[in-house]
Amino acid sequence: MALPADATLADVGEFGLISELTALFPQGEHVLVGPGDDAAVLRVRTGHVVVSTDLMVEGRHFRRDWASGADVGHRAAAQNISDINAMGGRATSLTIGLAAPADLPAAWALDLAAGFAEECGLVGASIVGGDLTRADQVVVAVTVLGTCTQSPVLRSGAEPGDLLALVGRQGWAAGGLTVLSRGFRSPRVLVDAYRRPTPPYDAGPAAAEAGATSMIDVSDGLLSEVGHLAAGSGVAIDVRTATLEVAEPLVTVGAALGAEPLSFVLGGGDDHGLLATFPPGQVPDGWTVVGEVLDGGTPGEVTVDGAAYEGATGWTHF
């Protein structure tokens, strides 16, 4: 549909804008999966190439007084590698673009590169190129390429009766961000989780081999990502809070700041764990069943313990 001439990004919203933009981009025959999933999928002779791009903008995604250059490098690499992981693939190559003010200390940029390279080394991926330009604030732009040896796992394959499962830490980075936002630096374990996430990089390919029907990484918020699975698959999904781990540091922060600890888990992002749906009996070891795909219900609907959830479900950019 045509947008009003005076519409702003806030009026349209992140996903409304994405929908409008993707309609403008014709796809060639070699594109198996284009915009709209965790990564694109391109046809190659053996297996598939998967590609994803992310941006990190100073003041929006990080603050230099909260995180070192190395921390930002780790985070930038992790969020991109995790997108390949969420397709059931493994990252192989990355490019990184850096825009920065002329007065940015060179040491900070070098620390950024070192942290980025260290994170990439965890999966054996290489940084194969990039770009550098001047800007009024630091912007990090990353493109990652990877491979899937099997069919990529999309957001659109969940079926009624499937189990929803989670692997990796959840809510820790959100707790750390809350602590930093209030001017504190402890519990240190949560602050460190925000600064340097620890995605379960081996879990994506393992889930694909186990028969995952849909999958996504938790970058913006658990319930928000479950919503993408539900919308992409045209199903309703219920999340069970009794199965979600609320770690002791989250309880401590919740008590100190007057926040509900479970809200960090349900609405928090940036830990880059994985959510996936599996047929019963096919959930791999290490994953926790946290819900189910309902037989019936409104397509795209997400409920918590059988009811609508009124709290924050995740981060929105506009």
Query: Which residues fall in the annotated binding site for substrate?
Result: 61, 270, 315
Among the listed residues 225, 294, 187, the one whose alpha carbon sits nearest the alpha carbon of residue 38: 225
What end-to-end distance do the CA atoms of the chain give, in Å? 20
Indicate the annotated binding residues for ATP: 130-131, 155, 219
Indicate the annotated binding residues for Mg(2+): 38, 52-54, 83, 131, 217, 220
Indicate the annotated binding residues: 38, 52-54, 61, 83, 130-131, 155, 217, 219-220, 270, 315
- Strands, DSSP E only, in the chain? 31-33, 40-43, 48-57, 90-100, 126-134, 139-148, 163-167, 214-217, 237-239, 274-278, 288-293, 302-304
The token pair that represents 117 in the structure block: 């390279």
Burial class of residue 66, CB neighbours in 10 A (0-12, 13-18, 19+): middle
Among the listed residues 241, 251, 252, the one whose alpha carbon sits nearest the alpha carbon of residue 305: 241
Task: Determine what percent of the chain falls in helix, strand and coil, rounding each to the nearest 5.
Answer: 35, 25, 45
The token pair that represents 190 in the structure block: 């949560």
Amino acid type, 99: A
Between the alpha carbon of residue 16 and those of residues 12, 37, 221, 242, 310, the distances in Å are 5, 15, 18, 33, 22
